[in-house]
Amino acid sequence: MARRTINVTLGQALQDGKYNSSATSATSAVAASIGTLQTDVEAAIAVLVADGAAPTQAHVNTAAAAWALLLAAINVAPNVVIDFDDAVVTNQNALRAAVAVALKNVAGSGLAVG
């Protein structure tokens, strides 16, 4: 299994309701990095839970540092990331079908239209 991403950065909103945007396709370094950092946060929280009512300061510091790294990774991620498993999504038609379903969810999301 290899994960792939399409990273989209929305630029300036144009008068016709469209956006000046750019997109790149790559292996899923952003998702992999965030996934690894999420695992680190989960492990640090598990240690805190195991500490019970008296967590050590070192364990608190470890959890805080892991959380800060995760937030930093999320904040530098592109505006929109389409992440998919190319062992499951094996061709463009499958990806188009998935994106079409996502667009139906956008229509019902409550986001402003323009």
Residue 58 domain boundaries: 3-86
Pairing type for strands 80-85 and 3-13 reads antiparallel
Per-residue pLDDT, 63 = 95
Within a domain: 53: yes
pLDDT digits (tens, 9 = 90+) for 16-49: 766 666 666 655 556 667 778 889 999 999 999 9
Q: How many folded domains does the chain comprise?
A: 1
Within a domain: 30: yes
Within a domain: 113: no
Per-residue pLDDT, 110 = 79
Within a domain: 82: yes
Within a domain: 91: no
Within a domain: 112: no
Per-residue pLDDT, 60 = 96
Within a domain: 106: no
Within a domain: 67: yes
62 — pLDDT class (breaks 50, 70, 90): very high
Distance CA 40, CA 99 (A): 30
